[in-house]
Structure 1
Amino acid sequence: MKSVTAARVEQRMEELLQRRCDHLIAPESGPDQPLDQNPSQEALQAVILQAIEAGRGGKRLRALLLCDVWRALESEQNPDREQAVVDLACALEVYQTSALVHDDIIDGSPRRRGRPAAHLALSRSVAGNDSSGRAPAKPDARGAGLGILLGDLLASLSTDMALQAAAKLPQGTAIGRAFQAMQTAVVTGQVLDMGMEEACLDDPERLRRQALHTMAWKTASYTTLAPLALGLLASGADLEEHKESVRALGLDLGLAYQLADDLLDVTGDDRRTGKPVGGDIREGKRTVLLADTLAMVDPDQAKEIRRLYSCTSQVRNKTQVNMVRDLMQSCGAVEASRRRMADLSVRAQARAQALADDLHLSTGGRTIFLKACRRFLPLATTAGYHERVSSIDAEAGQASEVQRAGQDEHE
């Protein structure tokens, strides 16, 4: 297989989605009730359009990791099997789209990848009340409801895609089970994430452990753990033999990736990220960065942060968001997060090397595999982290706490 590109994945995603969505459009009931005058058909058409639109953009890192793991292990040229692997990778990306649609509804996010979030685009004002065609500032009940159904539809379609692709690959039954287990893990992580909204802020160490635990389920499960496992299974490799190594590597890569994303919420530029900077603070999310901040600011500042995060109004205003962002940077929490990511990056690269040895990869396969893993390491890929941390000055216990966060996950 030649190197798969994000553009190829996106094009194939749209082909697979369009093919399935074409079957969902019910026939017109007759000339007396044409399609453009049937509200139920209009709603279905709007959801189908968003199924395609919501999936556009993105780096496709999950799909590329799955394909590259397979490519690193596969020695035979088999176009049919190659296409099945690409389709499986597309199923993974369609599932991610479903998760993002639901995530934006839960978080009340107005934008995704620089465009209105799907539930906003589906709001009634877009359908008829706003002649400009622009998405409204806030969703209505129709938009939120259709957004939930859109997310459900995409999740269902992703499973169908994955099972069809798996039928053409070695260990197809195991691939299907792994894909469905991934979905269960992500939903579990989302529940844990919502539960974190009520987490106590008086114990930063406990809060940090809880946040890492949630990341392992919600992000690492389908960002790195599943692509690694699915790539191995698709090649016919014995996943059970390498299960612990895959899990340890996947957790390190996934946690590093999510920590970088959390940091961009504080230090990034929404013109580059495609979503509002400061959103985690505005929504009151309990993150590792928040836990570090509470541990590092002085008692009065910590009290003020706890007050802001505990206030009855669920959304903090721009002044409050900027105040917390400034504290996160000035107290050293941002730098602590960078050191933690550097620690994870070093360990992940060592684990990737060890797994490449265990898999007996060829020289070319080893290069493909290690490069694929490095895409998730923020020191190499994330805007704003151009400097290489030369020495890991991690706080005592940081390495072990990250390991403990995923100790019992995804067995």
Structure 2
Amino acid sequence: MSLPCDLQSIEQRITSLVHAFMDMEGAPIPSSLAHTARLTADQAITSSEGGKRLRAMLALGAWREVASGQALSDAVQAQAMLDLACAIEVFQTAALVHDDIIDDADLRRGRPSAHRALEQGTGSLPIGRGLGLMLGDLLATACTGIADDASTRLPASGRLRRTFLDMQRDVEIGQVLDLAIEQMPLDDPAALCEASYEVFRWKTASYTTIAPLRLAFLAGGMDPADADTHAEDIGLPLGVAFQLADDLLDVTSSSLQTGKPVGGDIREGKRTVLLADALDEADGAQQAWLRAAYEAPARSEEQIRQVIALFERTGAIEASRARIANMWRMARLAIERLGLDTAHTATLTALCARFVPEDVRSR
């Protein structure tokens, strides 16, 4: 069996795995409650649809580059690696469902966020939000079960399970830090930038790049210590570059591209590296205006446009592009230190390049 790495295969397998977990046929649920249960199960499928599946593609692709020929031709291991990669995507869906509740977000991937859809389906805001919380929990449980089952069919099964659980814990800690940073004062841009990088490591890089690589390296037979080192050396700068690029997209792209309103981070008053760089380079009047705008209870659409303009004028947008380019250089050097042959190095580099905007990679 060849390992299916294409987007369609991953998408189909995720749907199948989530559907199997959420299947309530035959469950002793009273008919008076079945509608809400079915609504939640259907939303689990809907929320799991779409996305670039970068994490699954990275895990699958990296496994193919480091695994032996015998492992690659083993149908059981190939299917298990596909399921393990899909488990990361199901975890991401769980995290996004919860994240949208925390951010009070209306849209996700161009459609109503899960809790909003459940509010509409039940006609109740509090019940919809409550169901959204439980949906996130259900998907988090699902991804753990999927990963656990897949790990039993792969080498280093115990370490794979531990890595997956560590990934979940890191993201949860990252979410705590992400909320904590929102209470930071805005009078020390350097401290804000440093804190933002820490949030990137815990909340984004941990499951977006580091864990997919670590799982791939372990499942591919790499020495555990080497797997940890290489996954961290490649995944940390790559994950930071990915988050910096995502923050940049929030102010430089359109809703059609992202599926979310432009300037969403500004609207929510999020502390970002972009804001830190703008505060660092702004003059006194600009700094005072930015602080007042971000410390206000809400920001108008006009204020959002003015903040984006300040990000441009102060050089914060260009500074982020330079930061991304530097992180990408660090990731490329770390890939080379793996010691793979030229062809495997090129393939893995191309996989990792998907996390970084093309115009920045060429710098």
Is the TM value for this pair above 0.5?
A: yes
Indicate yes or no: 2:25 matched with 1:46: no
Q: Which amino acid aligns with 1:366?
A: T
What 5-or-longer segments of structure 2 have no aligned partner?
none
Q: Secondary structure of the equivalent of 2:98?
A: helix
**8 Å Cα contact 2:177/2:199 also seen in 1:** yes
Deviation at 1:347, TM superposition (A): 1.7
**8 Å Cα contact 1:98/1:154 also seen in 2:** yes
Q: 1:105 to 1:25 in 2, by over 3 A?
A: farther
- Distance in structure 2 (CA, Å) of the matches to 1:62 and 1:165: 16
Indicate yes or no: 2:147 matched with 1:121: no
Counterpart position of 1:366: 345
Deviation at 1:350, TM superposition (A): 1.3
- Distance in structure 2 (CA, Å) of the matches to 1:92 and 1:285: 26
What 5-or-longer segments of structure 1 have no aligned partner?
30-34, 130-138, 390-411
**8 Å Cα contact 2:160/2:218 also seen in 1:** yes
Indicate yes or no: 2:50 matched with 1:57: yes
**8 Å Cα contact 2:245/2:324 also seen in 1:** yes
Deviation at 1:200, TM superposition (A): 1.0
Deviation at 1:320, TM superposition (A): 1.1
Aligned pairs for 1:140-289 (under 5 A) are 140-289=125-274
Q: 1:363 to 1:337 in 2, by over 3 A?
A: closer
Which is helix-richer, 1 or 2? 2
- Distance in structure 2 (CA, Å) of the matches to 1:28 and 1:117: 26
Counterpart position of 2:21: 20
Deviation at 1:25, TM superposition (A): 6.1
**8 Å Cα contact 2:266/2:299 also seen in 1:** yes
Counterpart position of 1:402: none
What do the CA deviations read for 1:132-174 (whole angstroms, capped 9, x no partner)? Answer: xxxxxxx811111110110010000000000000000001111
Deviation at 1:386, TM superposition (A): 7.0
Counterpart position of 2:65: 72
- Distance in structure 2 (CA, Å) of the matches to 1:107 and 1:19: 30
Equivalent position to 1:324, from 289, 297, 307: 307
**8 Å Cα contact 1:101/1:147 also seen in 2:** yes
Counterpart position of 1:348: 331
- Distance in structure 1 (CA, Å) of the matches to 2:155 and 2:81: 11
Indicate yes or no: 2:60 matched with 1:81: no
**8 Å Cα contact 1:25/1:44 also seen in 2:** no
**8 Å Cα contact 1:72/1:364 also seen in 2:** no
Deviation at 1:3, TM superposition (A): 5.6
What do the CA deviations read for 1:188-211 (whole angstroms, capped 9, x no partner)? Answer: 000000011101100001100000
**8 Å Cα contact 2:189/2:276 also seen in 1:** yes
Alignment identity in percent? 43
TM-score by length of 2: 0.95
Deviation at 1:368, TM superposition (A): 2.6
Q: Secondary structure of the equivalent of 2:222?
A: coil
Q: Secondary structure of the equivalent of 1:27?
A: coil
Q: Which amino acid aligns with 1:96?
A: Q
**8 Å Cα contact 1:70/1:235 also seen in 2:** yes
TM-score by length of 1: 0.84
Q: 1:25 to 1:122 in 2, by over 3 A?
A: farther
**8 Å Cα contact 1:349/1:374 also seen in 2:** no
**Deviates further, 315-324 or 180-189:** 315-324
Counterpart position of 1:388: 362
Q: 1:23 to 1:367 in 2, by over 3 A?
A: farther
- Distance in structure 1 (CA, Å) of the matches to 2:168 and 2:150: 17
RMSD in angstroms over aligned alpha carbons?
1.6
Give the paired residue count: 359
Counterpart position of 2:9: 8
